[in-house]
Amino acid sequence: MSAIICKDLCKTFRQGEEVITGLDNVSLSIDAGEFVCLSGPSGSGKTTLLNAMGGLDTPDSGEITVGSQRLDQLGKGELADIRLNSIGFVFQAYNLIPVLSARENVEFIMQVQGVPAAQRGQLAEQVLADVGLQGMETRLPAELSGGQQQRVAVARAIASKPRLVLADEPTANLDTHSAAQLMDLFVALNEDKGVTFVISTHDTRVMGYARRLVRLQDGRLISDEAQQPHGMAQA
Amino acid sequence: MNVTWVLAWRNLWRHGRRTWLTVGAMVFCNLLLVFMISLQLGSYQMMINNSLAMVSGHLQVQHRDFMADQRMRDSVPAVAALADSVREALGTEAVAARGQAFALASSEDRSFGVLITGVQPLYEPSVSSFPGLVSRGRYLQADDRDAIVIGAVLARNLQVDLGGELTFLGSGRDGSFAAGVATVVGIVDTGIADIDRVVAQVPLVWFQDVFTMADAGHAVVVRLDELDAVPAAVSTVSSLLAADGDLRVLDWDALQPGLRQAIQSDMASGWLMYGVLILLVAFSVLNTQLMSVLERTREFGVMLALGMSPGRLARLVGIETLLMASLGLALGLFLGALLIWYLSVAGFTYPGMEEMAARFNMDERMYPEVSLLALAWGPVTVFVFTLLAAVYPSLRLFRLQPVAAMRAV
Amino acid sequence: MGGVSRIVAVLAWRNLWRNYRRTLIMLLAIGIGVWAMIFMSALMRGMTDQMVHNGLAVLPGEVQIHHPRYRSDPSVVNSMPSPTGELLAALEKPPVSAWAARVRVPAVIASERDSRGVTLLGVDPAAERALGSLPDEILQGRFLTDAADRGVVLGASLARKLDTELGKRVVIMSQDPDNNVADRGSRVVGIYRARLASNEEQFVYAGREVLQQMLTIGTAVSEVAVSANDYRQVDSWAPAIEDAAGDNLEVLTWMELDTFLSSMLSMQDGFTLILMVVIFVALSFGLVNTLAMAVFERVREIGLMQALGMRPSLILYQLLLESLYLLVLGLILGNGLAWLTIKPLESGIDISGVAQGMEMMGMGTTLYPALAYQDMLMSTAVVIVLGLLASLLPAWRAARLDPVRALNKT
């Protein structure tokens, strides 16, 4: 079953006088349980594609289906619901709420999702344990390292048990060790829980973990091939 | 525990000084409003009570033309009997009949035109504060006939003292020549020169005799315990009167139209000032909340990307404002209550107050009205406007695009 | 330094508009604050002016001369001789522009139907006209022709209460110096209207010579009212009159005659200042906050400037300048708003709806707001001086930032 189907996606931006091509007739289908890397240089369109998959950005033309829903036909509110309940997001900058502790950051999103108050605390601890942050639940983001903060962000993304996680340059601000730990976490979630991962990156260390590598350039899809994941070893 | 409230609370203290300054603006405004409103209401209360107690009472029964022109012949027939039936209908002692006439009052050395009021010595003390303000001598008694109580300034002008005789020359109800001699038994000193210059009270029976009034008078005066009771009393008394007759019931507002208007015009200028203060505080809050929204554009972008609806973010900003406004409200009420409590004990005065007070029948120190309304009106209005000020910043959240917002610095 | 301060001035100006929304809101707040300061002072000034004006018209004159006991005992016994000699000479020379000697006694006036206590004024119409103390409007008939006119002129309200009318006879009664009732019948030759209904009921005009004759006081008068047309300058010429009047007469200025008026006038400037400061304080919280925010979000930038060698004093100067721009723009806006709202209202605001209430304050049915330049100047001074003082705190903190730490702040 397909998790994501993109068909003839086009998107242009205006920057001053210039018209920049973001996506140029991109068609792509991703099955449930895949672990996909979108790669390409800056401005190749990978973030635009990822944002389109997450319903953050609507394409100018083309169709995009996530699960059973046509995102290009939905309104803002419905898109927000889908992001809240079916898609997990991880960003380059960890983007935690600075005044809330690790657990509260996770709990906050749960509250919005409507998880009953009684279950929230326990669930949050569970998810934080899943990402390896036992004992750090009460720390504020400023008291955590970059890698730890990013893991809180992952915990937040998977708290709703989404079937799909979209990660935009998740390792960009991390050292090699932290990056490897994060990618191991992603792989484990993918293999153990069957979560579909789409990760945009131009970090070759990350590409090594992918089972499918999609390359973009100037908004066009230039290659799409399966590969044997090899971790960071050959990076 | 609800994380949204925790988040809102902590967000407030990200910029503690800014929050305190904004709360400070609210508290300052609240205190000022509490101070001004309770003094204002207090002084109105004083103006109304003093004017009603000394002059007109809460309501009167008069001939329908008497109010406008105060002519002798626009009289109330059988005035004492009417007063008795009003007293019975209302179940209160504070009902008295009066008659009034202008006359030239002459002592041995001086003559002045005065307004003589004929009163019922038995009932007048319960409707008016004059009898209690007799500074020398005594007030009229039930068996007095040609006795008179006059104001201190009038006594000075007429160069007459207790025991002195005053001759009255005027015209009776039928236009005939009226004359009489009365002995001064008491002198009233209200401290208000305009009133002390004109008071001259004689027993009603003697008055009716001298001015050929027969059993008629000019008014039945009723004093009630509180202003709120006036409308009910008006309808009770009205039902005693013949519907097509010449008599009318007038409430204090009709008796002293200047009083309400003075209050209204003073209130109008007060409201202008309050409005401006509240507006300035609202602007201050608007700016603070707008800044706090703008500087968190990126954070809000992430929350939107995570699937939070703009409505929920607006609620967050709303809760932040609510907490801040509640803080301002609580502090404002607390400090305001302290202030009112202090002033209600110590009173308040300012230079020039004495001259003002004399003009408006007020005492020389003002005491604020101690009431929940006077205390809460200002702070609650500030509270409401503060919440309204959060609307614009919150609305901006609905225009936020997650992708663009996350790129914002 | 000239070049530097020019750049700093430009920098401060551009910084002001970086967050134009915030600046506009603050500008609006200052504008409304300044508008309120000026508008409310104009209303207060208009009220006071009118109270003084009406009050002086009733007195009348800015200086009055009486028998020393007349004020405590306004009886015909305490009359004074008509001005002669030195006093007359003083009254006939500038700055005195007009004076009138009048008989003013308490009296009873009776029609065939009713009677009332009034103040009887025996006047010389020509002198009163010069003094500006004649009734505002003659509704019916005419005013007195000269001091020997045998008629009387009543207020409309009094005529109604007496149930009398033009051409009818009324009896006026008062006392002569021997305390005998002096009375005479007179014809009502005119009915006037005054700004204040209470004046209409109180004052009855008769010819001076006629009253002097009735009261058998020869040429004596009760008071001499003197005017020089500027009530604020009275202290400069009153002493000369006092000298000329000698020890046997009491010379008082309007400030001593009507303490309510003079205390209202002296409180006015104080009230205006308090009003302005109160409004400013309400405003200042927002002002300090805005400036503090501007500093906070520019900490890195300020650190950079310091790292590049800008002296702290220059940073202080730049921030104060930014605040000054904001204040000046707000003042322009507020003054403009005030001018636009007050000018059309100067022809008068109809307040007849609350006329009887305003009468308690000595006002007529129309309020004339008075836009005074001194109020505009005072509001400008309050806003600039207190505004810069309030801005000093955030600006001072900015100037004392540690450049290294400021640069590292994210």
For residue A162, what is the nearest residue in chain B, using CA coordinates?
Answer: B306
Neighbouring residues of A98: CB distance < 8 A, sequence distance ≥ 6: A140, A141, A142, B14, B299
Query: Does B52 or C121 have the greater pLDDT score?
Result: C121
Closest to C97 in 3D by CA, of C142, C63, C49: C63
Structural domains counted in chain C: 2
Determine if the peptide bond prior to C60 is cis (ω within 30°).
yes
Which has more confidence, C358 or A54?
A54
Question: Are C344 and C390 in the same domain?
Answer: yes
Least Cα distance to B145 among B206, B99, B204, B100 occurs for: B206
Q: Which one of C205, C229, C257 terminates a domain?
A: C257
Confidence label for C331 from pLDDT (cuts 50, 70 and 90) = very high
**Per-residue pLDDT at B260 exceeds 70:** yes
Q: For C381, phi and psi rounded to 5 degrees?
A: -65, -45
Strands (E), B237-294: 247-251
* Residue (of B259, B236, B235) closest to B56 by Cα position: B259
pLDDT at C354 over 70: no
Cβ-count burial B365-403 (b if 16+ within 10 Å, e if not): ebbbbeeeebbbbbbbbbbebbbebbeebbebbeebebe
Q: How far apart are CA A97 and CA A91, in angstroms?
A: 13
Structural domain includes residue A234:
no
Name the domain boundary from C207, C230, C257: C257
- Residues from chain B contacting residue C158 (CB–CB below 8 Å): none
Count of domains for chain A:
1
Most trustworthy range by pLDDT among C256-265, C337-346, C349-358:
C337-346
Instruction: Look at residue A69 and tell me if it is in a domain.
Output: no
pLDDT at B352 over 70: no
pLDDT at A199 over 90: yes
Domain boundary among C257, C275, C291: C257
Nearest-Cα distance to chain A for B295, in Å, is 13
Touching partners of C (3+ C-beta pairs < 8 Å): B
User: Stretch C87-115: mean pLDDT, rounded?
Assistant: 81
A26 within some domain? yes
pLDDT surpassing 50 at residue A235: no
Distance CA B301, CA B402 (A): 4
For residues C118 and C43, state if they share a domain: no
Dist. CA A99–CA C220, nearest whole Å? 90
At residue B323, the pLDDT reads 93
Tell me the chain A residues in contact with residue B309 when contact means C-beta distances shorter than 8 Å: 77, 80-81
Tokens of B390: 């959060």
- Residue A202 is assigned to a structural domain of this protein: yes
Distance CA B17, CA C289 (A): 8
Residue A188 has pLDDT above 80, yes or no: yes
The confidence band for B329, taking pLDDT boundaries of 50, 70 and 90, is very high
Q: Which residues of A touch B4 (CB under 8 A)?
A: 108, 111
- For chain B, say whether C25 makes contact (Cβ under 8 Å): yes
Q: Are residues C359 and C403 in the same domain?
A: yes
Same domain flag for C165 and C66: yes
Q: Are B368 and B374 in contact (CB under 8 A)?
A: yes
Query: In 3-state terms, what secondary structure has residue B390?
Result: coil
Interchain CB distance below 8 Å, B351 and C361: no
**Alpha-carbon distance C173 to nearest alpha carbon in chain B (angstroms):** 8
**pLDDT exceeds 80 at position B350:** no
Q: Judge if C136 and C275 occupy the same domain.
A: no
Q: CA–CA distance from A150 to each of A107, A122, A153, A171, A196 (Å)?
A: 16, 21, 5, 9, 19
Q: In which band, very low, low, confident or very high, does the pLDDT at A197 lie, cut at 50, 70 and 90?
A: very high
Look up the domain containing C41 and give its range: 2-55+262-407
pLDDT tens per residue across span C54-65: 777 777 778 888
Q: ipTM for the complex?
A: 0.75
Cα–Cα distances in angstroms (integers) from residue C86 to residues A78, A199, C69, C90, C92, in the given order: 99, 110, 22, 6, 10
Per DSSP, C221 falls in state: B
Task: Please indicate whether, in this complex, the C-beta atoms of B309 and A80 are within 8 angstroms of each other.
Answer: yes
Judgement on whether residues C319 and C190 belong to the same structural domain of the protein: no
- pLDDT (average), residues A151-176: 87
How do residues A34-76 score in pLDDT, each as one tens digit? 999 999 888 888 888 988 888 888 888 999 998 888 888 888 7
Q: Which residues contact A73 (CB under 8 A, 6 or more apart)?
A: none
Q: Are residues C179 and C307 in the same domain?
A: no
Range of the domain at A208: 2-64+75-226
Same domain assignment for residues C398 and C266: yes
Q: Residue C105 is which amino acid? A: V
Angle between the N-to-C axes of helices C259-296 and C312-342, in degrees from 0 to 180, rounded to the nearest 10: 130
pLDDT of residue B331: 93
pLDDT tops 80 at residue B76: yes
Are C102 and C251 part of one and the same domain? yes
Same domain, C287 and C306: yes
Q: Rounded distance, CA C302 to CA A103, Å? A: 36
For residues C15 and C97, state if they share a domain.
no
* CA–CA min distance B229, chain C (Å): 24
What is the three-class DSSP state of C180? coil
B28: chain C residues, CB-CB within 8 Å: 281-282, 285
Asked if pLDDT for residue B300 goes beyond 90, the answer is: no
**Tokens for C397?**
């903190």
Tens-digit pLDDT profile for residues C35-79 = 888 888 888 888 777 777 777 777 777 888 888 888 777 778 888
End-to-end CA distance of chain C: give it in Å, rounded: 32
The answer to whether position A70 is within a domain reads: no
DSSP character string of B86-127: HHHHHT-S-EEEEEEEEEEEE-SS-EEEEEEEEE-TTTHHHH
Q: B-chain residues within 8 Å CB-CB of C28? A: 283
Tell me the CATH number at A97: 3.40.50.300
Tell me: pLDDT of B110 over 90: no
| Whole-structure pTM value | 0.74
- Are C207 and C283 in the same domain? no
- Pick C110 or C356 by higher pLDDT: C110
Question: How much is the average pLDDT of B7-19?
Answer: 86
pLDDT at B359: 60
By mean pLDDT, which of A119-123, C131-135, C141-145, C328-332 is the weakest?
A: C131-135
**pLDDT (0 to 100) of residue C324:** 92
Rounded CA separation A76/A53 (Å): 14
Residue at A232 is within a domain: no
Please tell me the predicted confidence (pLDDT) of residue A215.
92
Cα C169 from Cα C162, distance rounded (Å): 11
Q: Judge whether A212 lies within some domain.
A: yes
Which two three-digit tokens encode residue B52?
Answer: 């009603």
pLDDT digits (tens, 9 = 90+) for C124-166: 888 888 777 777 788 888 888 888 888 889 888 888 888 888 8
Choose from A216-225, B155-164, B240-249 the range with maximum mean pLDDT.
Answer: A216-225
Q: Which of B198-202, B248-252, B357-361, C264-268 has the lowest mean pLDDT?
A: B357-361
- The pLDDT assigned to B358 comes to 63
The CA distance from B12 to B390, in Å, is 14
Q: Is A104 in CB contact (< 8 Å) with chain B?
A: yes
Which residue has tokens 């004109």?
A: B198
Give the confidence band of A212 by pLDDT, cuts at 50, 70, 90.
very high
Report whether pLDDT(C184) > 50.
Answer: yes
In chain B, where the domains are located: 2-52+259-406, 58-255
Q: Which SS3 state, helix, strand or coil, does residue C50 take? A: helix
pLDDT at site B63: 86
How does residue A84 score in pLDDT terms, banded at 50, 70 and 90? Answer: confident
Mutate to test the interface with B, among A76, A82, A86 (most CBs of B within 10 A): A76
Whether the predicted pLDDT of C376 surpasses 50? yes
